């Protein structure tokens, strides 16, 4: 398996006017205390994501692809579902209920947002509110559809993450529309909402407004919702809650998986290359592709060891594992591993494989972060683990 900056010094790779910075991995001094995993919940149906309302230190909410959101309170899985929209979704393959985001003002407006594929296969963004009578149960009748994106032709590459950024806007990841190789060219087409990360203001007029600082405002025919493009399937992305740096785990095609990066305060509008490139390698055409204007990943790895799909994660900012603070965690769905690195000077450095710490974790669907900054890992088989230390 080839990995950029994993164990040796890799020189900077110049591509056109841009470059992927090489990095030297430091000697693998053991982290202290030793990282470990704590099982928080099990028996879930296709656990896909974990998050918490702002300031809620008692609960995490687990998204199940089957259409149900469950509550874990003080490490106890509650029996009653928080939300059940199974009748509304298409639950097959990569389709289903994909994400959950609580409004920054959730304590007062009780609003949260879900991303799912509806029964026609289209991507749907909807807002709900928690019931006034029970904080552990949502009001299913409060549903409001804010956005529907046509995605019926192919079932794969739906994207799926919703995340409020430090600017208060809602970020939404969408896949390129599916099939293989992006046959519709959505990734490089700034006029479509597929193969993108969108940035929406959901705090005002219904269904949403366009943040005035979005990079394509006033630049038709580009869609003003677009914050970043040239993405294949940005399944999971995150902001560092301390620095506000932005990380994207973009799932590759035949050979290469990648992690992309934008520093705090970045204005957006970047083209991350797909389907012209797969990570730092030409894809269409396979040689001699135009690279000018593309932003290339800070980390990539190939499929030679049976890997198949990157699962982007978070920078650890919790207190349970002090030796991990400042490290960006990500994983591999088929390879069943977790790795981490530190961003320094715009490059991924000190890359570590956590197999000795966490063991094999088949089917890593997501990482999640609670209100305190602790990190969680969800598995397709229904387990939720919290990262801690001995």
Domain boundaries along the sequence of the chain: 38-339+361-389
Do the beta carbons of residue 78 and residue 70 sit within 8 Å?
A: yes
Q: Which pLDDT belongs to residue 286?
A: 96
Q: Where is average pLDDT lowest: 11-25, 91-105, 157-171, 215-229?
A: 11-25
pTM for the model: 0.93
Number of H helices, E strands in the chain: 2, 30
The residues near 340 (Cβ < 8 Å, ≥ 6 apart) are 316, 324, 327, 328, 329, 330, 351, 352, 354
* Cα separation, 360 vs 345, whole angstroms: 31
Domain 38-339+361-389: assigned CATH number? 2.120.10.30
Q: 34-56, pLDDT tens digit by residue?
A: 999 999 999 999 999 999 999 99
What's the mean per-residue pLDDT of the chain? Answer: 93
The confidence score (pLDDT) of residue 22 equals: 38
Check whether 270 has a pLDDT greater than 70.
yes
Provide mean pLDDT across the span 144-172. 97
Look at residue 32 and tell me whether its pLDDT is greater than 90.
Answer: no
More confident: 11 or 96: 96
pLDDT, position 33: 82
Contact 175, 232 (CB under 8 A): yes
Q: Is the pLDDT of residue 25 over 90?
A: no
Q: Are strands 226-229 and 270-271 parallel, antiparallel or unpaired?
A: parallel
The answer to whether 295 and 271 are in contact (CB under 8 A) is yes
Name the DSSP class of 20.
Answer: E
| pLDDT value for 28 | 63
As a whole number of angstroms, the distance between CA 215 and CA 22 comes to: 28
CA 222 – CA 217 distance, rounded (Å): 8
For the segment 78-95, the average pLDDT, to the nearest whole number, is 97
- Which percentage of the chain shows pLDDT scores above 90? 90
Residue whose C-alpha is closest to residue 161's, from 210, 119, 100, 214: 100
Mean pLDDT score, 83-89? 98
358 DSSP 8-state letter:
H
Does residue 347 contact residue 21 with C-beta atoms inside 8 Å?
yes
């Amino acid at each position: 398996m080839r990995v950029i900056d994993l164990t040796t010094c890799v020189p900077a790779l110049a591509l056109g006017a841009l470059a992927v910075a090489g990095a030297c991995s430091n000697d693998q001094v053991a982290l202290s205390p030793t990282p470990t995993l704590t099982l928080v919940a099990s028996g879930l149906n296709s656990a896909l994501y974990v998050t918490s309302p702002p300031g809620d230190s008692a609960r995490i909410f687990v998204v199940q692809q089957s259409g149900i959101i469950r509550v874990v309170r003080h490490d106890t899985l509650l029996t009653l579902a928080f939300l059940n929209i199974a009748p509304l979704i298409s639950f097959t393959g990569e389709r289903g209920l994909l994400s959950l985001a609580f409004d920054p003002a959730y304590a007062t407006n009780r609003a949260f947002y879900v991303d799912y594929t509806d029964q026609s296969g289209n991507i749907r963004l909807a807002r709900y509110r928690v019931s006034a009578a029970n904080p552990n149960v949502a009001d299913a009748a409060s549903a409001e559809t804010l956005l529907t994106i046509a995605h019926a032709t192919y079932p794969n590459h739906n994207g799926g993450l919703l995340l409020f950024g430090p600017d208060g806007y809602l970020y939404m990841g969408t896949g390129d529309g599916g099939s293989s190789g992006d046959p519709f060219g959505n990734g490089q087409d700034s006029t479509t909402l597929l193969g993108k990360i969108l940035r929406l203001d959901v705090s005002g007029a219904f269904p949403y407004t366009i943040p005035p600082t979005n990079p394509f405002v006033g630049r038709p025919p580009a869609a003003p919702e677009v914050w970043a493009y040239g993405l294949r399937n940005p399944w999971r992305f995150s902001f560092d809650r301390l620095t506000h740096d932005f990380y994207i785990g973009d799932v590759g095609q035949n050979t290469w998986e990648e992690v992309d990066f934008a520093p705090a305060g970045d204005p957006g509008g970047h083209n991350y290359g797909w389907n012209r490139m797969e990570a730092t390698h030409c894809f269409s055409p396979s040689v001699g592709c135009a690279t000018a204007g593309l932003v290339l990943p800070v980390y990539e790895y190939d499929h030679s060891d049976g890997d198949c799909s990157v699962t982007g994660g978070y920078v650890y900012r919790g207190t349970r594992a002090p030796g991990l603070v400042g490290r960006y965690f990500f994983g591999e769905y088929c390879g069943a591993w977790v790795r981490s690195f530190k961003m320094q000077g715009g490059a991924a450095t000190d890359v570590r494989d956590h197999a000795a710490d966490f063991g094999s974790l088949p089917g890593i669907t997501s990482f999640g972060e609670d209100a305190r900054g602790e990190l969680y890992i969800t598995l397709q088989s229904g387990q939720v683990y919290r990262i801690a230390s001995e």
